[in-house]
Structure 1
Amino acid sequence: MYFRESDVLEIDQIIPKILGDKDKYKNLQILHKHCHDEKTIEDGSVAKYT
């Protein structure tokens, strides 16, 4: 997918901090909000916070 001016974007940690990685620049990526939501559910990090 491509980013457009009207898109809602979020910064994502490729490997979540809860799973052992740090908030380092090389571990960050920009995702569409809906893609970030899906990734968070799939990588299990959302269950760790609830």
Structure 2
Amino acid sequence: MQNVTLIGIDLGKHSFHVHCQGKHGNVLLRKSFLAINLCVFSHLVRLQPW
């Protein structure tokens, strides 16, 4: 996955919607996760420093 600068998470009762953006505001990922899968995903993402 490309370097991610911004991560937005919409918290729901049963699922979480994730939106990742790159340095120039381009969308890198839009996906829905269950709670356990979100934990795994968070360990795989590399945040790029500002």
TM over 0.5: no
TM-score (norm 2): 0.42
TM-score (norm 1): 0.42
Bigger helix fraction: 1
Greater C-alpha Rg: 1
Bigger strand fraction: 2
